[in-house]
Amino acid sequence: MGKKRIVTKTEEELLREREKVEAEVKKEIKLEVPQKVKEGRVYVSSSYNNTIITLTDSKGNVLHWVSAGSIGFKGTKKATPFAASKVAEAMGQAIRKLGLEKISIFIKGIGSGRESAIRSLATRGIEIGSITDITPVPHNGCRPPKIRRV
Residue type, 35: Q
Q: What's the residue count for the chain?
A: 150
Residue by residue, pLDDT tens for the chain (150 residues) are 667 777 777 888 888 888 887 777 766 566 665 567 889 999 999 999 999 999 999 999 999 999 999 999 999 999 999 999 999 999 999 999 999 999 999 999 998 999 999 999 999 989 999 999 999 988 888 888 999 998
Tell me, what's the pLDDT at 19? 84
84 CB-near residues (< 8 Å, 6+ apart):
46, 51, 68, 111, 112, 113, 114, 116, 117, 120
pLDDT at 33: 58
Q: Please calculate the CA angle 59-61-67 and round it to the nearest 5 degrees.
A: 130
Instruction: Please tell me the predicted confidence (pLDDT) of residue 53.
Output: 97
Q: Cα separation of 79 and 64, whole Å?
A: 20
Three-state SS string over 73-116 comes to CCHHHHHCHHHHHHHHHHHHHHHHHHCCCEEEEEEECCCCCHHH
* pLDDT value at residue 5: 74
C-beta of residue 49 within 8 angstroms of C-beta of residue 78: yes
- Give the span between the Cα atoms of 6 and 61, in whole angstroms: 47
- Return the CATH number of the domain spanning residue range 37-133: 3.30.420.80
What is the pLDDT at residue 3? 74
Instruction: Report the C-alpha dihedral over residues 124, 92, 120, 66, rounded to 10 degrees.
Output: 180
